[in-house]
């Protein structure tokens, strides 16, 4: 049994000895494999970090440092009533203009006005030598007195001839001749009276008076010159400036609403502005329209009237006339300076609470001198950029400078 067991033991021993070295030999290879995997992971992580840092460096190199905020001025859109105006270029015209001329021939002996003086109708302006007309009057009066005496003699003679004719002392022809003589002197009396009236009228015309109330211009004839009724040059020109009118033009496309208002009996207010269209000079109303459109320009002439009691309007003065056509109620209103125009139409830059701007497309309504109605795209209370928009893009950070324009409400975020 012992030998047999020994024999079995010898047979199994190589099996135990053979498997032991194989398992121990595989363990270093597994360890090396995990080491290689770990090394590859570490290498990949390093490469990733290097690539990310390179990308950040490249991005910083291309973009450069962060852009500083752009300094802008802003205003706040509001809700209110927007007047709708028609604007036209025009010039002031005197309500009446009179070139005062002499109506008689003679020497100018007196000028009774000062240049630029306000005169009233009937005031004496100048005087032509009245003596020749006074002499004519006296001659006509003397002729009248003589003809009256002759008429009286003819009347008495006719009365006697009538009695003698009844007694058949004179013939019918003699009586008729005396009656004709009486009628001739009657006609002479009427002619003499007309001559007297003419002389008196000439004497009146020798005193040149103002035909209208207004302002005199520069004196065009001096004392001592002989004036004639057919002279081309007047003595002075008078322009009526209270009230005064302004003639301006509007495009023919804008005519229908104006005609509609006039037919309805509405009075359209008109405002006169200076040449720069910045300062209002006077207020008035539309007086009338022309009766035809100018085919060369496609415009129609309109006339507005102004009281001009302060005398700020002068004839031939250039003005911009704003005709109030309607009022748009409860609309969003923004400054005109906030509206930008691009390839896609009108837009504005809206300042957001994070101090960046948003490019907002807007639909415009009626436009005034400084404000514009916004039909869509902007809400009341939003802050828009009115100065510095040329440096802005979508999302550009901004810094608001100074106070808001157009009485805007407090700006967001300082």
Whether 414 maps to a domain, the answer reads no
> Do 60 and 77 fall within a single domain?
no
In a domain, 278, yes or no: no
pLDDT tens, 130-148? Answer: 999 999 999 999 999 998 8
pLDDT score for 53 = 67
317-342 residue pLDDT tens? 999 999 999 998 999 999 999 999 98
Q: Average pLDDT of 258-274? A: 92
| % of the chain with per-residue pLDDT over 70 | 85
Per-residue pLDDT tens over the stretch 274-307: 998 889 999 999 999 999 999 999 999 999 999 9
Instruction: Kindly state whether residues 52 and 78 are assigned to the same domain.
Output: no
Last residue of a domain, one of 174, 205, 236: 205
Q: Specify if 294 maps to a domain.
A: no
* pLDDT digits 0-9 by tens, 64-103: 455 688 899 999 999 999 999 899 999 999 999 999 999 9
Three-state DSSP class for residue 404:
coil
CA distances in angstroms from 242 to 213, 224, 236, listed in the order given = 9, 33, 19
Q: Number of folded domains in the chain? A: 3
* Same domain for 16 and 76: no
* Poorest-pLDDT segment among 121-125, 222-226, 304-308, 405-409: 405-409
Same domain, 137 and 75: no
Q: Considering only residues 229 and 68, tell me which one the structure prediction assigns the higher pLDDT.
A: 229
Q: Which of 65, 94, 112 is at the close of a domain?
A: 65
pLDDT of 151 strictly over 70: yes
Write down which residue in 160, 182, 205 finishes a domain.
205
Does residue 227 form part of some domain? no
How close are the terminal C-alpha atoms of the chain, in Å?
A: 107
Neighbouring residues of 374: CB distance < 8 A, sequence distance ≥ 6: 77, 331, 332, 333, 334, 362, 363, 364, 365
- pLDDT value of residue 56: 63
Per residue in 336-370, pLDDT (tens digit) is 999 999 888 999 999 999 999 999 999 998 888 78
Q: Is residue 271 part of a domain?
A: no
Residue 393: give its domain's CATH number: 2.40.420.20
Q: Is residue 20 part of a domain?
A: yes
For 354-387, letters b (16+ CB in 10 Å) and e give eebbebbebebbbeeeebbbbeebbebebbbbbb
Q: Worst-scoring range by mean pLDDT, 40-44, 212-216, 282-286?
A: 40-44
Does 137 lie in the same domain as 74? no
Average pLDDT, the chain: 84
Question: Do residues 8 and 42 share a domain?
Answer: yes
**58 in a structural domain:** yes
Asked whether residue 22 falls in the same domain as residue 76, the answer is: no
Together in a domain, 60 and 74: no
Q: Are both 4 and 59 inside the same structural domain?
A: yes
Which range (119-123, 169-173, 259-263) has the least confidence? 169-173
In a domain? residue 246: no
Q: Which domain holds residue 58?
A: 1-65
Q: Do 60 and 21 have their domain in common?
A: yes
């Amino acid at each position: 049994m012992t030998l047999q067991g020994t024999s079995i033991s010898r047979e199994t021993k190589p099996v135990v000895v053979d498997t032991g070295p194989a398992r121990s030999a595989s363990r270093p290879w597994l360890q090396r494999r995990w080491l290689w995997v770990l090394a590859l992971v570490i290498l990949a992580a390093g490469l990733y970090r290097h690539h990310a840092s390179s990308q950040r460096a490249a991005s910083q190199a291309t973009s450069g440092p962060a852009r500083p905020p752009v300094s802008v001025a802003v205003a706040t859109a509001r809700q209110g009533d927007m007047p709708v105006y028609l604007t036209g270029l025009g010039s002031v015209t005197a309500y009446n203009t009179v070139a005062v001329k002499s109506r008689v021939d003679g020497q100018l002996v007196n000028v009774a006005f000062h240049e630029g003086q306000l005169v009233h109708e009937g005031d004496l302006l100048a005087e032509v030598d009245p003596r020749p007309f006074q002499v004519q009057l006296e001659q006509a009066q003397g002729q009248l007195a003589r003809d009256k005496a002759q008429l009286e003699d003819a009347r008495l003679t006719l009365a006697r001839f009538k009695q003698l004719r009844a007694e058949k002392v004179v013939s019918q022809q003699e009586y008729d001749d005396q009656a004709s003589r009486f009628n001739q002197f009657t006609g002479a009396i009427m002619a003499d009276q007309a001559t007297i009236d003419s002389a008196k009228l000439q004497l009146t015309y020798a005193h040149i008076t103002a035909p209208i109330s207004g302002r005199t211009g520069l004196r065009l004839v001096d004392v001592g010159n002989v004036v004639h009724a057919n002279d081309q040059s007047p003595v002075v020109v008078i322009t009526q400036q209270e009230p005064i009118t302004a003639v301006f033009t509007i495009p023919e496309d804008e005519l229908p609403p104006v005609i509609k208002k006039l037919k309805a009996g509405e009075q359209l207010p008109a405002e006169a502005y200076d040449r720069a269209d910045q300062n209002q000079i006077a207020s008035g109303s539309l007086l009338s329209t022309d009766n035809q459109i100018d085919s060369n320009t496609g415009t129609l002439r309109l006339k507005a009237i102004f009281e001009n009691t302060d005398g700020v309007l002068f004839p031939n003065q250039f003005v911009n006339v704003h005709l109030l056509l309607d009022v748009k109620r409860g609309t969003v209103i923004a400054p005109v300076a906030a509206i930008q125009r691009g390839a896609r139409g009108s837009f504005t830059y809206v300042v957001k609470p994070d101090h960046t701007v948003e490019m907002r497309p807007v639909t415009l309504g009626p436009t005034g001198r400084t404000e514009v109605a916004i039909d869509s795209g902007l809400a009341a209370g939003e802050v828009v950029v009115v100065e510095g928009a040329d440096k802005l893009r979508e999302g550009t950070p901004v810094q608001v400078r100074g106070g808001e324009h157009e009485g805007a409400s407090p700006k967001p975020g300082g």
